Amino acid sequence: MKKLLILAYDFPPYVSVGGLRPYSWYKYMHEFGIFPVVVTRQWSNKYGNHLDYIAPGESNDVIIEESEKGIIIRAPYKPTLANRLMLRYGENRFKFLRKIITGWYEFVQWFLPVGTKYSIYKAAKEYLKSNKVDCIIATGEPFILFKYALKLGKKTKIPIIIDYRDLWSYSLSRNKNIFFKNLNIRFELRILKSCLLVSAVSEFLLEKIKDVYKINNSIVITNGYDEELLTDHKNIVITDPSKLILTFVGSIYAWHPLRSVLSVLKEFKVFCESLDIKFELHFYGTNKNKEIVEYCSDNILVLNENIYLHSKLKNDILFKEMLKTDLLLLFNDFLISGTKIYDYLATKKKIILCYDSDRFGDIMSGPYGNKVGIEEYANLQKNIILETTSGIIVTDPEDLFKNLKALLKEKIENGVIKSETTNIEKYSRRYQTSLLAKKILGLIQ
| Structural domain boundaries in the chain | 2-78+116-223+429-444, 227-427
DSSP state of 418: P
pLDDT tens, position by position, for the chain (445 residues)? 999 999 999 999 988 888 999 999 999 999 999 999 999 999 987 777 778 888 898 899 999 999 999 999 999 999 999 999 998 888 889 989 999 998 899 889 999 999 999 999 999 999 999 999 999 999 988 999 999 999 999 989 999 999 999 889 887 666 667 777 888 889 999 999 999 999 999 888 898 898 889 888 999 999 999 888 776 555 566 667 889 999 999 889 888 999 999 999 999 999 999 999 999 999 998 988 888 998 888 888 888 789 999 988 888 888 888 988 999 999 988 877 888 899 999 999 999 999 987 555 444 444 454 444 555 666 889 999 999 999 999 999 999 999 999 999 999 998 889 889 999 999 999 999 999 999 999 998 7
- What CATH architecture does domain 227-427 belong to? 3-Layer(aba) Sandwich (3.40)
Residue 192 to residue 230: CA distance in whole angstroms? 38
How many C-beta atoms lie closer than 10 Å to residue 370's C-beta? Answer: 9
CATH of domain 2-78+116-223+429-444: 3.40.50.2000
Please check whether residue 280 is in contact with residue 308, taking contact to mean a CB–CB distance below 8 angstroms: yes
pTM to 2 decimal places = 0.84
- 2-78+116-223+429-444 and 227-427 agree in CATH topology: yes
